[in-house]
A and B are shown apart, each in its own frame.
Chain A
Amino acid sequence: MTPELGQLALILAMLLALAQSVLPLVGAWRGNRALMAVARPAAAGQAVFVAMAFGILAWAFLRFDFSVQYVADNSNLALPWYYRIAAVWGAHEGSLLLWILILNVWTVALAAFSQKLPEVFASRVIAVMGLIAVGFLAFIIFTSNPFGRLLPMPGDGADLNPVLQDPGMTFHPPMLYMGYVGFSVAFAFSIAALLGGELEQAWVRWARPWTNVAWAFLTCGIVAGSWWAYAELGWGGWWFWDPVENASFMPWLVGVALIHAQAVTEKRGSLRAWTILLSIFAFSLSLLGTFLVRSGVLTSVHAFASDPRRGVFILAFLTIVVGGSLLLYALRAPKVLGGKPFKVVSRETALLISNLMFAVAAAMVLLGTLFPLIGDALNLGRISVGPPYFGFLFPLLMLPVVLLLPFGPFLRWGKGESLVLKQVLMRAGIVAAACAIVAAFFVDGQLKAIAGVGALVWLTVGVLLYALKRWREMPRGRRYPAEMAGMLLAHLGVGVFVAGVLLSESLSVTRDVRMAPGETQHIGNYDFRFDGVHHTTGPNWTADQGVVTVTRNGNETTVMHPQKRTYPRGQVQTESAVDAGITRDLYVALGEPMDANDIEGAWALRLYYKPFIRWIWAGGLLMMLGGLVCATDKRFRIKRSARAEAGAEAADGLQIQETRA
């Protein structure tokens, strides 16, 4: 009975979502306040029913209700409770339920924090969120019902894919979806602005914190995914340019561009149309990501077995969203080039260059990811584009960004001075070059590693020089407003990330070896001694567990226990052992026994020494932190009932900015 209640809750939620979208839109059009007032209660009601549906599915998992097909397919009696919770979003239907739940979290937050916005604008924004919810709820109800019954009820269920039975799995999808879905808020703001023909750019300031927070979540989700792939998939890599990774990376890249474009539009009024276009693209790419993962049209390690009808539905939805919003854009985008003029040497130009680079990078990734579909359509054969395509073009596109980053903050809006740029170039350049030369002696002249150290120092010194300048020139308390502090943190993160990538790529040592018990391998100053394999058991698996003792100059560093797990239905899952450190990771994964009948004999082992790999994720987390800090800036809080004062506020903001610059 309860699962049917879940189904009912979803249908009610869809009806409320319809009310939430249609009525306020009509109200805003007709100037009918009663209709506009429907937006918030309808959103709250929808959220209650969606949360109820989600809760019912989670409850079915916790209670082993195998009469529900989805539960029977993705869990069994032996699965620990925490993985049964994670199993709610472990496959197609449930992950869509998570999607819609998170959309509701954002909508409710929006409804709560938009009380001071002009009523017409706020109700349009909430209505657009409602439209998105209608699309996804229809998708769940008509093609992907998670509450379908399996009768007669089996005694035990199947299993959650073992790859997903990892702490990272409980964390990665919700974070990623928070980011994906969060871009719907920026999208809704843009659409509402287009619908209302907002001439003022005040709405951009209201949209900014939302975009920053969504982007921060997406960053966190990507970092968690990268770390999970590293720890769980046993390949020791942190990024594979896999279609599904690209699917999350494209909105991220556009998100970076959007965050910076919004800053320009808010403060100077320029790039209005571009900002709107970017927010449409960011959300469309999030939808495309969902389509790529769910439809199974591309060969990916993430692909689920799937139903072609679903792909068609999402594709149709995608077409309506992208087509509709672009049409609206074409009809309503501000025709006049607005904003204050700027010279070639100015902050606007710097931000424009970075925007261009990130937009082109996103387009490049999109082309490479969709190329198999294009090849298929043009009958070119079954082609995929290899990682070297991305690995060659992406760094090339990011090189100007890294080189120009330290200059950006020093440039004034409108017209910058070249003198200060020369100073920065001299100071940061000299320190970076000096450090790179010193580093060359430690890394055996590896060019990539030297470049990594150089980039780290270049970016860090650039950020510090600017921080110092603020410290000297501004009075206490106004030196580092949140927006500024967030920017500095995120830019520091870029340096840490680049250093992590270049150092770990160039200095890593990877060795696949055959080792008999007692044998030792010497890798990067460490001795790995293989002490054999024994049998062990866990809550729902049995495993061959290896013992590898690592010593350095005779002192024991750590004892590692890589596993080869076997799950109830015979699925095998390699569980690598990682000894993490700030300057290096040691990583051991078990291959196969050389003789399948003698597990105590020799094994194939994969041994890695990975210097500075944690810096990659540390850099990502700094960027995330930057985004979150930015969003807390006092300037973004809507102080008055903004309807009448929107214009006055914008002028206010500009004044503050002028004194800050």
Chain B
Amino acid sequence: MPMNPTRKRRLTIVLSILAAAAVAAVLVVLALQNNMNYLLTPSQVQSGEAASYNTFRLGGMVKAGSIQRSSDSLKVTFTVVDAGGAMPVEYTGILPDLFRDNQSVIATGHMDGARFVATEVLAKHDETYMPKELKDAMAKAHEGKQVEEAGSGESGMGSRKP
């Protein structure tokens, strides 16, 4: 069929939209891959599930009596626990208002040896509220099941954020 001008123009428009969509899709996938944060509990971390992530989120309860503040800087150490594990956490900065003993927290950061160094700590916002994903994670860990994450096969995933 001969290309009349209208047809040609439409083809150009369709092709450029397709090209733009392809570029957008690639960018979205890349951005997603680099910024997916997994939520793990201390027992999951101790069973080696965190090995493939640079950065991940650690969720659990603050162990009573474990909060220790440095006297000359803003460094704080505390222990996050779930039913089957405990993880020492180090954080430098100001903690959220609702951070205290026996509260559920989600900390973002990375492992440094056996310690977890957090760059951000979130405590729950409302006293009766516990994030659903954290509830699920802790319920899973509580059952003592070995949690198998289908997505953990992809290596090198995790945030590039320091």
**A302 to B125, Cβ gap below 8 A?**
yes
Among A102-110, A146-154, A273-281, A375-383, the stretch that binds chain B is A375-383
CB distance from A30 to the nearest CB of B (A): 42
Q: Contacts A380-B150, A513-B74 known; A572 to B31 CB distance under 8 Å?
A: no
Chain B 85-102 interface mask (CB, 8 Å, partner A; 1/0) = 000000011110110000
Partner of A592, one of B34, B92, B95: B95
Are the CB atoms of A572 and B151 closer together than 8 Å? no
Shortest Cβ distance from B13 into A: residue = A344
Q: Contact size class for B?
A: 35 or more
Cα distance A387–B106 when bound, in Å?
Answer: 16
Q: Which of B69, B73, B94 has the most CB atoms of chain A within a 10 A radius of its CB?
A: B94
B149: chain A residues within 8 A (beta carbon): 379-381
Residues from chain A with a CB closer than 8 A to the CB of B93 are: 512
- A contact patch SS: mixed
Closest Cβ neighbor of A352 among chain B residues: B13
Among A303, A386, A594, point to the contact of B37 (Cβ < 8 A): A386
From known contacts A299-B131, A591-B95, infer whether A514 and B73 are also in contact, taking CB-CB under 8 Å.
yes
User: Taking the nearest CB of chain A, how far is it from the CB of B13, in angstroms?
Assistant: 8
Interface assignment of B47: CB less than 8 Å from any CB of chain A: no
In the complex, which residues 57-98 of chain B have their Cβ closer than 8 Å to any Cβ of chain A?
57, 69, 71-74, 92-95, 97-98
Is A383 in contact with B38, judged by CB distance below 8 angstroms?
yes
A606 at the B interface (CB under 8 A): yes
Inter-chain contact A389/B35, CB cutoff 8 Å: yes
- Among B24, B32, B71, B126, which residue has its beta carbon within 8 angstroms of that of A371? B32
Q: Which residues of chain B are within 8 angstroms of A387 by Cβ–Cβ distance? A: 35
Mark B121-162 against chain A: 1 for CB-CB distance below 8 A, else 0.
010011111011110110000000000011110000001110
Q: Within 8 Å CB of A393, what residues of B?
A: 27-28, 31
List residues of chain A with CB within 8 A of the CB of B159: 386, 388
> Chain B: which residue is nearest A589 at the CB level?
B94
Contact assessment for B129 and A305 in the assembled complex, using a CB-CB cutoff below 8 Å: yes
Binds B, one of A360-368, A428-436, A524-532, A623-631: A360-368
> Does A199 count as interface, using CB distance less than 8 angstroms?
no
Instruction: State the CA gap A592–B57 with chains docked (Å).
Output: 24
Cα distance A384–B37 when bound, in Å? 5
Q: With a CB–CB cut-off of 8 A, which chain A residues contact B71?
A: 594-595
For B31, the chain A residues whose CB sits under 8 A away are: 388-389, 392-393
Nearest residue (CB) in A for B94 is A591
Q: Point out the residue from A234, A304, A564 that lies within 8 Å of B126, measured CB to CB.
A: A304
Q: A378-B150, A386-B161, A389-B32 are in contact. Are A299 and B72 (CB under 8 A)?
A: no
- Knowing A512-B74, A591-B74, the reply to whether A381 touches B24 (Cβ < 8 A) is no
B115 within 8 A of A: no
* Cα(A163)–Cα(B72), bound, Å: 30
197-230 of chain A: CB within 8 A of chain B: none
Chain B residues contacting A304 (CB-CB under 8 Å) are 126, 129
- B39 adjacent to A384 (CB under 8 Å): yes
- Complex CA distance for A381 and B151, rounded to whole angstroms: 6
Report whether B35 and A388 are in contact in the complex, using a CB–CB cutoff of 8 Å.
Answer: yes
Q: How far is the CA of A606 from the CA of B97 in the complex (A)?
A: 13
Decide yes or no whether B15 CB sits under 8 A from chain A.
no
- Given A297-B132, A381-B152, A514-B72, A592 and B125 touching (CB < 8 A)? no
Cα–Cα distance between A379 and B152 once the two chains are bound (Å): 10
Once A305-B126, A382-B38 are accepted as A-B contacts, the answer to whether A396 and B28 lie under 8 Å apart by CB is no
Chain A residue numbers with a CB within 8 Å of B131 are: 299, 303
Interface residues of B in 1-49 (CB under 8 A from A): 9, 17, 20, 24, 27-28, 31-32, 34-39
Beta-carbon contact of A606 and B27 below 8 Å = no
Determine the chain B residues whose CB is within 8 A of the CB of A591 once the complex forms. 74, 94-95
Which residues of B sit under 8 angstroms from A513, Cβ to Cβ?
74
Residue among A161, A304, A381, A589 with max Cβ neighbours from chain B (10 Å): A381
Given contacts A305-B126, A574-B97, contact A299 B35 (CB under 8 A): no
| Contact across chains for A384 and B57 when beta carbons are under 8 A apart | yes
Contact of B150 with A385 in the complex, beta carbons under 8 Å: no
Q: Which residues of B contact A344 (CB under 8 A)?
A: 9
Judge whether A382 and B137 touch: CB under 8 Å: yes
For A299, what are the chain B residues with a Cβ–Cβ distance below 8 Å? 106, 131-134
Q: Bound state CA distance, A384 and B133, in angstroms?
A: 10
Q: Is A296 among interface residues, defined by CB-CB distance under 8 A? A: yes
A302 to B125, CA, bound (A): 7
A604 to B149, CA, bound (A): 40
Nearest neighbor of A343 in chain B, beta-carbon distance:
B9
Return A274 CB to nearest CB of chain B, in Å. Answer: 13
> Which 10 pairs between the two chains have the least Cβ-Cβ distance?
A380-B151, A591-B94, A381-B149, A299-B131, A389-B35, A382-B39, A386-B35, A305-B128, A572-B97, A382-B133
Complex A-B: 22 CB contacts under 8 Å: A163-B125, A301-B122, A303-B125, A304-B126, A367-B32, A372-B133, A378-B150, A379-B151, A380-B149, A381-B38, A382-B133, A383-B37, A383-B38, A384-B36, A384-B133, A386-B35, A386-B161, A388-B159, A392-B35, A393-B28, A512-B74, A512-B92
Hey, which bits of chain A sit against chain B, CB under 8 A?
Answer: 161, 163, 234, 296-299, 301-305, 344, 356, 360, 364, 367-368, 371-372, 375, 378-389, 392-393, 396-397, 512-514, 564, 569, 571-574, 589, 591-592, 594-595, 604, 606
Besides A564-B97, A573-B97, 6 more A-B contacts (Cβ < 8 Å) are A360-B24, A379-B151, A386-B37, A572-B97, A574-B97, A592-B95
